Amino acid sequence: MKNRFSIGEMAKLHNTTIKTLRYYDEIDLLKPIHTDINNGYRYYSTEQFEHLNTIHYLKELGFSLKEIKGHLDHRNIDGFLYLLEEQKRLTEKKMKELERINRRFQN
């Protein structure tokens, strides 16, 4: 199959697990490009690489899967910029809390 990767290959290429990819399929976050009706095997295309990279990136920024799905489903730039600002605010708040805790340890 040209330009198609099994779920195992996709997981290995993107440093994730098969279980995670199955879950993403289950919640409609990342559907395989093709599912074999005879054996249920899932296949992904190179076009989906960026989609999975985006999911990983947003997860690293602290977004929930629900927020990521909402962004990917609607692709609203204003809404996405708002989410980024909100995530930035939450991250800065968490950093201040951790700095305060660190100062307590040092004292």
* Domain of residue 46, residue span: 1-63
- Determine, yes or no, domain membership for 105: yes
| pLDDT for res 98 | 93
Number of domains into which the chain is organized: 2
| pLDDT for res 70 | 87
> Residue 43 belongs to what H/E stretch?
strand 42-45
On whether the CB atoms of residues 58 and 68 are closer than 8 A, the answer is yes
Residue 42 CB-density burial (10 A; 0-12 exposed, 13-18 middle, 19+ buried): buried
Looking at residue 47, which CATH number applies to its domain? Answer: 1.10.1660.10
- Determine, yes or no, domain membership for 70: no
For the chain (107 residues), the mean pLDDT of every run of 10, in chain order, is 86 96 96 92 93 92 89 82 86 92 90
